Structure 1
Amino acid sequence: MVTLVYLIVPAARPALRAVIGLAGVTAVLVGTRVHRPAHRWPWWVLASGLPTFVAGDPDRLSERFPLRLKG
């Protein structure tokens, strides 16, 4: 459903990218808690790195559409 909205509604894409990225963080944390792997720290490191990816996405978009400052 989210993919369909992403493809049909271009204005919603930045928000949906954030939602999809944060859903990945949630999935890793829930999966770690439910399955209780022997070594959890690699999963915690992955979960802590995913928000960095989400935070960097607007920066990537700003490279494509740079701000034009008057000056």
Structure 2
Amino acid sequence: MSEEIRDEGRAEGRAEGRAEGLLLVLEARGIPLTDETREKITTCTDPQLLRQWLHPATTAATAEEVVVEER
């Protein structure tokens, strides 16, 4: 397996894990998710963007406040 493929797999794994963590935080806080917002989170492949979304998920009043493209 080439190093490039391995790195791509790791990035995908990080993105999936961060998306799952973000959903768990929102769920634990009782923040409702629209289908659109849930899809935006679960289909995001950028681990850095998902990481940016995770911090505000701990204090935001809505999920839509969390998943903004630019911070």
User: TM-score, normalising length from structure 1?
Assistant: 0.35
Q: Which one has more relative contact order, counting CA pairs under 8 Å at least 6 apart?
A: 2
Structure number with bigger Rg: 1
Give the number of the structure whose residues are more often helix, by fraction.
1
